[in-house]
Amino acid sequence: MDLPTFLIQLLNAVQYGLLLFLVASGLTLIFGIMGVINLAHGAFYMVGAYLAFALTGLTGNLLFAILLGIPLAFAFGALLEWLLYAHLYKRDHLEQVLLTYGLILIFEEGRSLLFGDDVHGVDVPALFAASIPLTDTLSYPVYRLVISAACIALAAGLFLLIRRTKLGMVIRAGSHDRDMVQALGIDIDRTYRIVFALGVALAAFGGMLAAPVSSVYPGMGNQVLIISFVVVVIGGIGSVTGALVASLVIGLADTFGKVLVPEYAGLAVYLVMAAVLLWRPEGIFRRG
Amino acid sequence: MAEVLLAADGLTRRFGGLAANRDVSLSLVRGEVHALLGPNGAGKSTCINLLSGDLPVTSGRILLRGADVTPLPNHRRSLLGLGRSYQRTNIFARFTAFENCRLAAQSRDPQAWRILGRAHGNASVRDRAASALEQAGLGVRSNVVGAALSHGEQRQLEIAMVLATGADVLLLDEPLAGMGAEESARMIELLKSLRPAHAILLVEHDMDAVFEVADRVTVMVEGRVLESGLPHQIRASAAVREAYLGEPEASA
Amino acid sequence: MRLRASRVALLVAAVAVIAFPFTDSAFYTELLAKAMILAIFALSLDLLVGYTGLVSFGHAAYFGIGAYATVLLAPKYDPASLWLVLPGAVVAAGLAALVIGLFVLRTRGIYFIMVTLAFAQMVFYVFHDTGLGGGSDGIYLNFKPSAAIGSLQPFDLGEARQQCWFVAALLFLTWWFLARLLESPFGRAIVGIRSNEQRMRALGFATVRYKLAAFAIAGALAGLAGSLYAILFGFVTPELLSWHQSGNVLLMVILGGIGSLAGSVGGAFAFVAMQEVFSGWTKHWQLLMGGVIVAAVLFLPGGLAALPGRVRRAFGAGGG
């Protein structure tokens, strides 16, 4: 592999890893704080991508679509929490798995009803449609860099939120002990709703960003979900730092796996996970 | 010559920067009840968890019948004759008292791995369970489901389960906790009846009970052993009085 | 009283299964066989979820391995011997579960759910991405395996009724095996582990080894179901190992009520029935299935097996 190819793959790996982080961080937060295992989290990524597709069609530009889509996704998350997830906090993992599995079926079929089963493309916004030439034959699309930049900005915002705010204090405590959290003078129902909606919005935003690159297709959420599980297992449940590091590791493993051993590329991330399980079964950044 | 069954030498356990146990040494002798005292947070439960293998030690050595068992996990130590009860009642609530003990006895059954034989068909396991229940005074309650037993009976059942494994080193974490006077008296009688054949470590808050039954007392404070000796020596110790017994009437 | 009622129910079910293929409806005979195969699959998972306390979300992997092993062990241009491919599939799935179990059992609780799913997905990719089993297109089992032992031909799987009865016999055997296992010392130990693993360790049980054995046995039984599935339909695709399959079997077990052998079988039948009815109504039947699942979790905790008790309580204890 020559240097420019390596560089391109490295950038792709980081971009993919950062997108994963948007999904995995919500997943790990929702578990860490509310103790809910949310299989439907990948579906929110899919919802984001289809929102991007629909709203881009409506407004003519992905950027407008994203501006409209994020509040929509946040509201959708808050609604779902109120309707369904709030009933799950006291249930065991088995019931959480089952209910959120049922939700996946509903989202997938709802998607099929509304948009059909075809693959759809979404245009890169004209503003970022350029490419940066690297050599005579190789170039790198600006939009992919924009994805990475947006993800980094979001990750930074998330870390600020966790380190500097009262909400972040709850997140850092990582406790699903409602009494303890309430003792801190925090409205627990509202906190849960906000965290959940935030997780949904993060995943949906990931889907919107990815739409022009990966296109919009059936089953896209499930694939992301399972890889996000791998990320959470490697990073340690409840740890946002762990999710970030693990996302990048998986981004690298997957991208370079595809380049180096194309036939077994699908396996690369799982082998990384198996290795981590042998080394540290509770994840690299597991706390308390 | 006293028969030392369990000896701990310099046990230390750190959680992060905090040392929950620091250089704790003690030994358990067959025929003796060794009481472990100390205020809340002194590290008594940690000490039991280290001895039983529920927690790994940071440093130090544990000898069971002279053999080093420090690296062994809890189930291996159990098979070597070490049994424990928990501070919070820890039984199989949906099983009958008998089944609780039968399962405990089954752990020593060479055929425990059989997949098709009937669990209740093994007479020697059944007998051991029944005699353990009898010994713990629960013979008449053997068909009652764990959850339906009174609190005191549940504590008795915990000890019956340990007896059903045939353990001769008993680590008992506050067996009297939450008991009424009558239940406590029964438990103390049980402990006395077990004393001749067993080496017993008794973690307990109830001072009267401790001084009634203990042959040796170790006092822990802030993870360390403050003092260890015969009951009358501990009662007389100024250091213990200051650090722990505190109010004058407690030593009466 | 209750015992006798359940015996009667079992007898009625057995007679129905034996008699049903005489109705001469090829479609429903095959459907019945499919439901019974899924019942074996659900039973195998219930051993983990309901009795050992291990919520596996990747059980389809072993079903799929059993199915693929059946096809891959069969010669291309001749019928395979049933007595080779069926045990072969069981052993292959059991071994796979043993190896994967060594990894996944290092975790517990919610990690276990995620890790079993991830490993199942890894197995999925093995069959999906490599040429081992025809890749994403799947692979055909060209001939029904032959049950011949020497010159003796005890039954013919090519005949739909006999095939259905053979599946019924294996369902019965699986049930019997699990019922015996649960009464055995091993069975009591795993139920103890589900109830209180810490206590079991303190009593001297090497709990991880017990869990590993249960995981391997459950995998092997899932492999049996997968093998029968491949024989019934003559075709396997990576879809059999997909996580939808894992979700569906978990649904059957929970729908029926975990920790109940009859519940698992009932859950499998209910699942197949719902699938049939819903897909008759609309091609978006998964929407209805999802709705049923969500409603079941919200309004029917304990599954179908808890329903009689709930009904009885709702109508007052005075009647009983």
Domains of chain B: 1-81+168-252 (3.40.50.300), 91-166 (no CATH)
Q: What is the pLDDT of residues C238-292, one digit of tens each?
A: 999 998 999 999 999 988 888 889 999 999 999 999 999 999 998 888 899 999 8
Confidence of residue B250 (pLDDT cuts 50, 70, 90): very low
Asked whether residue C236 carries a pLDDT value surpassing 90, the answer given is yes
Q: Does C195 touch chain B (CB under 8 A)?
A: yes
What is the pLDDT at residue C11? 77
Chain A residues in contact with C119 (beta carbon < 8 A): 270, 274
Contacts of A233 in chain C (CB under 8 A): 107, 111, 114-115, 118
pLDDT of residue A35: 85
| For residues B174-189, average pLDDT | 88
Which residues in A lie closer than 8 A to residue C258 (C-beta atoms)? 94
- Report pTM: 0.90
* Model confidence pLDDT, tens digit, residues B107-143: 988 777 778 788 888 888 999 999 999 999 898 998 9
Rounded average pLDDT over C32-42: 96
Option in C106, C114, C294 nearest A99 (CB)? C294
CA C172/CA C265 separation, integer angstroms: 11
Dihedral in degrees, nearest 10, Cα atoms C245, C247, C248, C252:
140
Question: Which of C185, C205, C207 is opposite residue B114, by nearest beta carbon?
Answer: C185
C128/A contact by beta carbon, under 8 A: yes
- Nearest chain C residue to B158 by CA: give it: C199
CA distance C146 to C164: 15
- Mean pLDDT, chain A, integer: 88
Residue B88: is its pLDDT beyond 90?
no
Give me the pLDDT at residue A287, please.
Answer: 53
Does A46 contact C at CB distance below 8 Å? no
Asked if residue B252 has pLDDT above 50, the reply is no
| Residue B93 pLDDT exceeds 50 | yes
Q: In chain C, what residues touch A23 (CB-CB under 8 Å)?
A: none
C129 vs A: CB within 8 A? yes
pLDDT at A174: 58
Confidence at residue B251, expressed as pLDDT on a 0 to 100 scale: 41
pLDDT of residue A225: 92
**Longest alpha-carbon distance in chain C:** 66
pLDDT exceeds cutoff 80 at C305: no
Order of strands, sheet of B67-68, starting from the edge strand that comes earlier in the sequence? B18-29, B4-15, B59-64, B67-68
Q: What per-residue confidence (pLDDT) applies to B202? A: 94
Chain B closest-CA separation from residue C7 CA (Å) = 21
The CA distances from residue C102 to A229, A234, C93, C96, C97, in Å, are: 19, 17, 14, 10, 8
Q: Each residue of B203-215: pLDDT tens digit?
A: 988 788 888 899 9
**Residue B195 reports pLDDT greater than 80:** yes
Ramachandran region, residue B82 (left: φ > 0; alpha: ψ -120 to 50; beta: rest): beta
pLDDT in tens, C190-221: 999 999 999 999 999 999 999 999 999 999 99
Pull the structure tokens for residue C216: 């391997």
Q: What is the pLDDT of residue A165?
A: 84
Helix (H) or strand (E) holding B200: strand B199-203
Task: Please state which CATH class domain C2-18+25-312 belongs to.
Answer: mainly alpha
Could you please report the per-residue DSSP string of C1-55?
A: -HHHHHHHHHHHHHHHHHHGGGG--HHHHHHHHHHHHHHHHHHHHHIIIIII---
Average pLDDT over all residues of chain B: 88
CA distance C221 to chain B (A): 14
Question: What subunits touch chain B, counting only 3 or more CB pairs under 8 A?
Answer: C
Q: Between chains, do A102 and C287 touch, taking CB under 8 Å as contact?
A: no
Q: Closest partner residue to B90 among C199, C204, C207, by Cβ?
A: C199
- The answer to whether the CB atoms of C201 and B95 lie below 8 A apart is no
pLDDT the model gives residue A181? 67
Residue B246 has pLDDT above 60, yes or no: no
Q: Across the strands, what pairs with B202? A: B35, B172
Report which listed range, B191-195, C59-63, C125-129, is most confident.
C59-63
pLDDT of residue B41: 81
- C180:B116 CB<8 A: yes
pLDDT of residue B122: 84
pLDDT at C302: 66
Nearest CB partner across the interface for B78, out of C192, C196, C203? C203
- Give the distance from residue B84's alpha carbon to the nearest chain C alpha carbon, in angstroms: 7
Q: Chain C residue with minimal CA distance to A233?
A: C111
Residue A176: pLDDT band (50, 70, 90) is: low
C106 touches chain B (CB under 8 A): no
A267/C contact by beta carbon, under 8 A = yes
Across the range C61-79, mean pLDDT stands at: 94
Of the listed ranges A142-151, C154-163, C308-317, the least confidently predicted one is: C308-317
For chain B, percent of residues with pLDDT exceeding 90: 60
* B-contacting residues in C 200-229 (Cβ below 8 Å): 200-207, 213, 217
Mean pLDDT of chain C: 89
* CB-nearest partner of B119 from C187, C203, C217: C187
- Amino acid code (one letter) for B94: R
Q: Nearest CB to A267: which of C125, C247, C250? A: C125
Supply the pLDDT for residue B245: 57
Provide, rounded to the nearest whole percent, the portion of chain A with pLDDT above 70. 94
What proportion of chain C, given as a percentage, has pLDDT over 90?
A: 62
In this predicted structure, the answer to whether residue B51 has a pLDDT above a threshold of 70 is yes
Write down the pLDDT at residue A54. Answer: 94
Q: Is A273 on the interface with C (CB under 8 A)?
A: yes
Cβ-based neighbour number of residue A168 at 10 Å = 16
**Which has the higher per-residue pLDDT, C77 or C225?**
C225
Residue B166 reports pLDDT greater than 60: yes
ipTM of the complex: 0.88
Extents of the domains making up chain A = 3-115+142-279
